[in-house]
Amino acid sequence: MEWDIAYNTTQEELIFSEYGRAVQELLRNANNVEDDDERQAYVERVIKLMLQMQPGIKTQDKYEERLWRHAFQIAGEPLKVQLPEGVTLEPATEEKELEPLPYPESTVRMRHYGQHVQDLIKAAMAMEDGPERDLATYTAAYYMKIALSSWDQGKFVNEDMIRKDLYELSERKLVLPPDAKLGEPGPNQPAQHDDKKKKKKSKNRSMKQTIQPPQVSRPTGGHTGGGGGGSKSRNRNKRRR
């Protein structure tokens, strides 16, 4: 049995990989629809599909015009459709250089610290010298220690390592004081974990003590039966006397 499988390496290159091959094939076949009304509805449905696949475009100015421009570029030829009211495309748009979809640029150094730590460092760098900047510096250093401990759990992490990396990441603007102590952060927070265990055990013990059944003293056989025998022997002694 033979399988007719088309590999991506043998197919036509995608114009916008963000929309996928299905959208590209739909738009490439749009002009093959003979009826004008059907072709118009066909392309409009593809435009809606493109918006569903890339909802972030909706936050941009003139996003509808951008979608139609992308559709013309993907189609590879002018689409025989009427543009919506308010949407205008420049002549020969499909021949212009393709404009990429916006992606956030990332130039993160020492990626193991993460973007959140980088943002904290930038915020501290923007502050003026004073207590607030010192607090922001300490906060950034503390989260750096948490991130580094989580990233390499088998590695010993101390303040000197954090101080060096903080100094480098802040472009030599933030300095952690020599006497700064960042605590002992870790992925599992062992100290807090132990406290929770102790509290749980203490709570269980108190519950057991609360629901423990009362102790009932049961009379022994010697006590119940011996009472009558003792009184009889005393009566005999009195008679003998």
pLDDT at residue 4 tops 80: no
Residue 26: CB atoms within 10 A of its CB come to 20
CA atoms within 13 A on the CB side of 118: 10
> pLDDT band at residue 5, thresholds of 50, 70 and 90?
low
Q: Are 47 and 56 in contact (CB under 8 A)?
A: no
Each residue's pLDDT tens digit, 135-163: 999 999 999 988 888 887 767 888 899 99
What is the mean pLDDT of the segment spanning 65-85?
Answer: 92
Q: Are 176 and 138 in contact (CB under 8 A)?
A: yes
pLDDT value at position 94?
43
Query: Confidence band (pLDDT; 50, 70, 90) for 33?
Result: very high
Provide the CB-side half-sphere exposure for 20 (13 A, CA). Answer: 10
